[in-house]
Amino acid sequence: METLPQAEFQTVQDFIFLEAKYADESRYDEWEALLTDDMMYRVPAGDGHDPSDLAPSIINDNRSRIATRLRQLRTGTRHSQAPISVMRRLISNLTVARHGADEYRAEANFVVYEYQTQSVNQIVTWPGQVQYALRRTAEGLRLCGKTVWLIHRSGPIPTLSFLI
């Protein structure tokens, strides 16, 4: 893989950290402003080897469904995020590569520490790998794809209605 110039890598990393911060703080409007109109947001389920394109996902949102998800979160009666979870995430092992003329593909390991405040009042940890698709636009970098591979995606997982 071609090594990116440090400044270019830094720009991508800064963007990824900003996206993480907005997600941690449930800042829905600012998070949504980072997305392209064709953004896809995915959290696959199962062992990851199911060849069927009819396998269910935990999340498989196109842009319109992301918008609905955010509208639901903003109502204040989305019980699974009312009150919102208190969260902080760590992102590491970041790699970034150019993709075509105006995009990047990035991968990182992550763990989200969620204090679940809606019912059980416990710390929930959400570890996994995250893949980003980023695009350079006139307004700066934008997120056009995010796929979150939870390590426990084939087992029972608790409610996950915040932005992971």
Query: Under the rule (CB under 8 A), what is the footprint of another protein?
Result: 43, 45-47, 50, 52-60, 65, 68-69, 71-80, 118-120, 154-161
Give min distance, CB of 89 to another protein, in A.
16
The Cα–Cα gap between 29 and 26 comes to 9
Residue 118 or 129 having the CB closest to another protein: 118
Q: Which is nearer to another protein, 43 or 144 (CB)?
A: 43
The residue (of 18 and 45) whose beta carbon lies closer to another protein is 45
d(Cα 106, Cα 132) in Å, to the nearest integer?
5
| Shortest spacing between CB 33 and another protein, in angstroms | 19
Report, in Å, the least distance between residue 22 CB and another protein.
Answer: 18
End-to-end CA distance of the chain: 28
Cα–Cα distance measured from residue 76 to residue 72, given in angstroms and rounded to the nearest whole number: 8
Q: Is the peptide bond before 83 cis (omega within 30 degrees of 0)?
A: yes
What single-letter DSSP state applies at residue 5?
P
